[in-house]
Amino acid sequence: MRILIYGAGVIGGKSMKNIMIRGVIFDLDGVLVHTDELHFRAWSCIAEELGIPFDRGANDRLRGVSRAESLERLLALKPEVRLGDKEKAALCERKNSLYRASLETLTAADIPPAVRAVLEILRKRKLRLAVGSSSRNARLILQRTELEQAFDAVTDGTMITASKPDPEVFLRAAALLGLEPDVCAVVEDAPAGILAAHRAGMYAIGLGACATGDGIRPDLLLSRLTELPALPALGGEGSPPSRTGIR
């Protein structure tokens, strides 16, 4: 596999050289807004009720997958805990209630100014922007943080039948943008999302070290979202992140 260094990122797999992207689809949690701590607290409550040891490392393994799949991964930590479908559904609903209650504390101040600056730069370049999230709470988060108007389309867990790594959420986002998958890039922070982007036939841009794992590699790995506008495929000049004017 050919690997090139680009600023603070690593390019591998499908090359983005000489490609002009027309649409960018963002995952929500961990990319635009950081609700990991809220998820961790909610799942910790469920784990404590079940007597299952749960730490931040275990929480990281729940990134990018559905609530039901997250519960299955939690239960796998203690196989002797056996639950029926109704019990599992009730626990998923309880976790969501705990999480949604914590979302009420979110405000526009929870979005770093640099995130809004990146979105504004991309919009000025006439790129179509979307959110592609498996979360059923995506619209609530966007509303609470006043980010909803920054996007041309939003797809979330209420609109799909299969969660990542199934590509449905990204394919629906591209359709809403009126674009073919091969001119879209996905920005993701979890391996399940990277795999979903690849299955959709889109370019996968990973954000942070957690975007790799289980043999899954993004086409481009960035350490910070603020590096995104410098990419030539997005209309940037390929300059180092420090020259983008975003801090």
Please tell me which residue in 29, 156, 166, 219 is annotated as part of the active site: 29
| 55 part of the active site | no
Measured CA angle at 194 (ends 189, 200), to 5 deg: 140
CB-CB neighbours of 145 under 10 Å = 22
Residue 115 makes CB contacts below 8 A (sequence gap 6+) with 32, 33, 225
Dihedral of the alpha carbons of 219, 224, 225, 228, in degrees to the nearest 10: -50
Give strand pairing partners of 216.
Answer: 213
Q: Choose among 103, 95, 100: nearest CA to 48.
A: 95
Please tell me which residue in 27, 156, 166, 189 is annotated as part of the active site: 27
Residue 8 contacts residue 170 (beta carbons within 8 Å) = no
CB-CB neighbours of 93 under 10 Å = 11
| 29 part of the active site | yes
Question: What positions carry a catalytic annotation?
Answer: 27, 29
